[in-house]
């Protein structure tokens, strides 16, 4: 199977490229390296380019004869999206439309889209299933939802079949230790906690201790990056077998508070992790937990690394590779 992975040099994309390579796929990665790393692409053909470059996109599709496309290339910081909505709509929406138009022009019919729990906005019920109202509260979530809507119309009009995968909190690293999370700047909880454990940061700041949760800190559903990739693989198989367009929520269905994450990281690393208790970060809902039973039932998806200590242990091994000694 020939697969185009857009954003294959990034965190989740690079893990996906590795998995597709292991499954015998012929992979082409298209990435502008704005946030990815060339050396994270461990197999396949690499094309340096941006979705906004028509000639590059056309050439990639003309030579690639793809069976499917996976799209991981997007800006991911909620706070930044509020300050710079133009950047988010341009990259995450308009450039995604160029990609979809290239698929239509070249008659490639199977699309796997990286969506997000942020499309749901402030949850009205938890755990969050696929039917939960979509009312995003920031430009990041709005853009992802706009693409989901666009995909429904592209299916009706052009027969482009898609699976939207709404990630909860992607975390962890390649169990082989070869790949991991390399965001700069890093804003995610687990890598920051581990940087503090490694002494690369003086402390980790907990954003708010006055939430309506048992210990006052926010609760999130952390899902291992390798389990996310497995869901992409299964979703692509489903489309290739004639499956209809759909969307799935991807998480473990289990919530952990910020304090629980830090305590687990202390146990896994055996290190002290200095903590500063700060104020809330704007836009953070108290509790985001997935109801992922549909993905399990329809895709046969079973998260393998669904234990928080394992997720953190894999991320810790990666962090240690980056901070020798």
Q: Which residues lie near ligand UDP (CB under 6 A)?
A: 169, 187-189, 192, 204-207, 218, 220, 258, 281, 284
**Pick 70 or 315: Cβ nearer ligand UDP:** 315
Instruction: Compute the distance between CA of residue 222 and CA of residue 290 in angstroms, rounded to an integer.
Output: 10
Instruction: Compute the distance between CA of residue 74 and CA of residue 210 in angstroms, rounded to an integer.
Output: 32
Strand order in the sheet with 219-220: 256-257, 219-220, 287-288
Q: Closest distance between ligand UDP and the C-beta of residue 149, in Å?
A: 22
Instruction: Compute the distance between CA of residue 88 and CA of residue 90 in angstroms, rounded to an integer.
Output: 5
Q: Is 131 exposed, middle or buried (0-12, 13-18, 19+ CB in 10 A)?
A: exposed
Q: Closest distance between ligand UDP and the C-beta of residue 205, in Å?
A: 5
Which residue shows structure tokens 């289990």? 254
Q: Of 94, 146, 142, which Cα lies nearest the Cα of 118?
A: 142
**Pick 167 or 305: Cβ nearer ligand UDP:** 167
**Pick 263 or 284: Cβ nearer ligand UDP:** 284
SS3 content of the chain, % helix, strand, coil (to 5): 40, 20, 40
305 is catalytic: no
Q: Closest distance between ligand UDP and the C-beta of residue 2, in Å?
A: 32
CA-based torsion, 70, 318, 23, 238: positive or negative:
negative
Q: Closest distance between ligand UDP and the C-beta of residue 194, in Å?
A: 11
**Pick 134 or 240: Cβ nearer ligand UDP:** 134
Q: What is the DSSP string of 26-72?
A: EEEEEE--SS--GGG--SSEEEE--TT-HHHHHHHHHHH--SEEEE-
Q: Closest distance between ligand UDP and the C-beta of residue 310, in Å?
A: 18
Q: Which of 140, 154, 211, 222 is catalytic?
A: 140
**Pick 106 or 188: Cβ nearer ligand UDP:** 188
Instruction: Compute the distance between CA of residue 200 and CA of residue 203 in angstroms, rounded to an integer.
Output: 9
Instruction: Compute the distance between CA of residue 314 and CA of residue 268 in angstroms, rounded to an integer.
Output: 10
Q: Closest distance between ligand UDP and the C-beta of residue 261, in Å?
A: 7
**Pick 90 or 188: Cβ nearer ligand UDP:** 188
**Pick 51 or 204: Cβ nearer ligand UDP:** 204
Q: Closest distance between ligand UDP and the C-beta of residue 311, in Å?
A: 12
**Containing H/E element for 48?**
strand 45-48
Task: Count the neighbouring beta carbons within 10 Å of the beta carbon of residue 61.
Answer: 21
- Report, as residue numbers or ranges, the catalytic residues: 140
């Amino acid at each position: 199977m020939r697969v185009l992975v857009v954003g294959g040099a990034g965190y989740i994309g690079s893990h996906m490229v590795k998995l597709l390579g292991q499954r015998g796929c012929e992979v082409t990665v298209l990435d502008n390296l704005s946030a990815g790393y060339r050396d994270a692409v461990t197999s396949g053909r690499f094309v340096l380019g941006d979705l906004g470059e028509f000639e590059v996109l056309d050439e990639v599709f003309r030579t690639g004869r793809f069976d499917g496309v996976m799209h991981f290339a997007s800006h991911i910081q909620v706070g930044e999206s509020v300050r710079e909505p133009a950047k988010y709509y341009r990259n995450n929406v308009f450039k995604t439309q160029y990609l979809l138009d290239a698929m239509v022009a070249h008659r490639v019919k199977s699309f796997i889209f990286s969506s997000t729990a942020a499309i749901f906005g402030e949850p009205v019920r938890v755990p969050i299933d696929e039917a939960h109202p979509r009312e995003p509260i920031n430009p990041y979530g709005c853009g992802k939802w706009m693409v989901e809507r666009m995909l429904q119309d592209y299916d009706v009009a052009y027969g482009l079949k898609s699976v939207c995968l709404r990630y909860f909190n992607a975390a962890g690293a390649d169990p082989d230790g070869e790949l991991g999370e390399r965001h700069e700047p890093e804003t995610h909880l687990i890598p920051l906690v581990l940087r503090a454990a490694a002494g690369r940061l003086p402390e980790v700041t907990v954003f708010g201790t006055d939430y309506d949760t048992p210990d006052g800190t926010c609760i999130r559903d952390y899902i291992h990056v390798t389990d996310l990739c497995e869901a992409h693989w299964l979703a692509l198989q489903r489309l290739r077998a004639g499956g209809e367009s759909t969307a799935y929520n991807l998480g473990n269905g289990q919530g952990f508070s910020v304090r629980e994450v830090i305590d687990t990281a202390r146990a896994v690393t055996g290190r002290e992790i200095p903590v500063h208790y700060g104020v809330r970060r704007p836009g953070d809902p108290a509790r985001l937990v997935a109801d992922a039973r549909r993905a399990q039932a329809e895709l046969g998806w079973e998260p393998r690394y669904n234990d928080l200590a394992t997720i953190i242990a894999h991320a810790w091994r990666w962090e240690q590779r980056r901070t020798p000694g």
